[in-house]
Amino acid sequence: MPRNEGSLDRALRVILGFVLLSLIFIGPQTMWGLVGIIPLATGLMGFCPLYRIIGLNTCPLKKQS
Which whole-number Å values give the CA distances from 49 to 3, 26, 59, in the listed order? 10, 30, 14
pLDDT digits (tens, 9 = 90+) for 11-60: 999 999 999 999 999 988 889 999 999 999 999 999 999 999 999 999 98
Instruction: Tell me how far apart the alpha carbons of residues 5 and 30 are, in angstroms, rounded to a whole number.
Output: 29
Q: For residue 62, what pLDDT band results from cuts at 50, 70 and 90? A: low
pLDDT at position 64 is 41
What is the predicted pLDDT for the residue at 40? 97
Is pLDDT larger for residue 1 or for residue 15? Answer: 15
Q: H or E element: which one contains 18?
A: helix 7-22
Rounded to two decimals, the pTM is 0.85
For the chain, what are the domain ranges?
A: 7-54
The Cα-based distances of 29 to 4, 21, 23, 45 in angstroms read 33, 10, 5, 27
